[in-house]
Amino acid sequence: LLGPFGPRTPQGPARVYVGTKHWHPSIGEAIAAMHEDGVRRAVAIVAAPHYSLRSVAEYKEKVEAALKALPEPIEMVWVESYEAHPGLIAAYARRLEEAIWRLRDPKRAAYVFTAHSIPVSAVERGDPYPRQVERTAELIAKRLSLPRFSVAYQSAGRTPEPWLGPDINEQLRALKEEGYEEVVVQAVGFPADHLEVFFDLDLEAQATANEVGLRLLRARSLNADLDYIHVLKDLVEAAWLR
């Protein structure tokens, strides 16, 4: 986004600021830098494609708290979700197709789309998250004419309250019991590789697959590939014109 393919406004190339919830630069640091640079209007986008009370909403709260601490306001325009953006679906489909070419028998394989789990209590309060995740999965499956697919969740918190399932490891065991020998997993809730992708899928889920006798392949992530950058660029530019 910082390069020549980044978003543009009618005034020229957009400046890009990064703020994180659990690392540096923090959201507060990013907002402070924006104010210091004279920014008075901005577009905010969370990398996660799906809105949730436990993800995007929490980022919004932190941004709003940082904005209140400023001596002058910054107008913030939000991209709250983009689960059905055609470019996103196409990018995910391309990477899933790469994995399909590695299968021994694609027509007899299972396909599982994963996203970060959230507490069931959030869903009961009307969180649109699971439906948005399912929408992404449906559109990718339709684009590739997959014979069958399912949605599973990963990275559930270690708390007493129930979290949204099925868990990816439970799903893998169930697929083996149904007679599948191969499965492709795609983490549609995580555009970029990070610890929860590497540990939960490449290590833990792969261990489960090995245990039950499944061949598991993971479609590669979008990361900073140009097709995904174009998606973010399109979203930011459209939001700027609202």
Domains, the chain, ordered by start = 8-82+226-240 (3.40.50.1400), 86-218 (3.40.50.1400)
- Report the pLDDT value the prediction gives residue 36, as an integer from 0 to 100: 97
- Report the pLDDT value the prediction gives residue 8, as an integer from 0 to 100: 74
Biggest CA–CA distance in the chain, Å, is 63
Alpha helices of the chain — where are they, by DSSP H? Answer: 27-36, 56-68, 86-100, 120-124, 129-144, 168-177, 195-197, 206-212, 226-240
Residues of the chain with pLDDT under 50: none
- Report the pLDDT value the prediction gives residue 112, as an integer from 0 to 100: 98
Residue 68 CA to its chain's centroid (Å): 28
Which residues sit opposite 185 in a β-bridge?
112, 218
- Report the pLDDT value the prediction gives residue 120, as an integer from 0 to 100: 97
- Report the pLDDT value the prediction gives residue 158, as an integer from 0 to 100: 87
- Report the pLDDT value the prediction gives residue 4, as an integer from 0 to 100: 61
Whether 78 contacts 131, CB under 8 Å: no
- Report the pLDDT value the prediction gives residue 2, as an integer from 0 to 100: 57
Distance CA 154, CA 163 (A): 10
Distance CA 170, CA 193 (A): 22
Tokens 């979203």 sit at which residue?
235
